[in-house]
Amino acid sequence: MGTTDGRRGPEIWIRGPVAAPDPVPVPYAAVATPRRFSWVSTHGGAGGSTLAAVYGGRDCGRGWPGAGDPPSVLLVARTHAAGLASALRAVESFRRGEAPHGLDLDAVVLVADAPGRLPRELVRQVRVIESVIDVYRVPWVTDWRLGDLGGNPPRETAPLSRLTGTR
């Protein structure tokens, strides 16, 4: 190594051609693929099967994902009082370690139980859930109620679409 002003540094004189450095291997694919999710309904009629059909992933009904299912879990509940309470219980069961080993709780998805705004008391319950985990909201979609799951998801669900890699 040569010195300049008493400091050590690299040699600046090299004889002959200089080979290009070897490429650095990339441990993962440069193009990210969307994650797959398991939709777990926290109560009957939560909408997990509809969300799985629209956003992709595996509908696990009211049971935990099995060995072949994606380990990333999205809990689903309606925005009525019983649905919000069941979502909070499911989040707490994850927190206490009661969910099967190897599952990751990514978020709670709240599906509107009726068109329009939530009553103030239900908004407070949603805030409690939001204080412990990410929450994605899905508005009332009349077409889904009528069985039409085609078309684009509602624009209000753009964050959920980005999370799931949908359209």
Q: Cα 53 vs. chain centroid, distance in angstroms?
A: 16
Q: Is the pLDDT of residue 28 over 80?
A: no
Q: 86, 64 in Cβ contact below 8 A?
A: no
- Express each pLDDT in 31-62 by its tens digit: 555 678 999 999 999 999 999 999 999 999 99
Domain ranges of the chain: 32-164
Q: 129, 90 in Cβ contact below 8 A?
A: no
For residue 121, give both structure tokens. Answer: 């008391």
Cα radius of gyration rounded to whole Å, the chain:
24
Query: For residue 100, which of 60, 133, 136, 129 has the smallest C-alpha distance?
Result: 60
State pTM to two decimals: 0.79
31-40, 110-119, 135-144, 148-157: the lowest-pLDDT one: 31-40
Q: Is the pLDDT of residue 2 over 80?
A: no
Amino acid at 47: G
Looking at domain 32-164, its CATH architecture is: 3-Layer(aba) Sandwich (3.40)
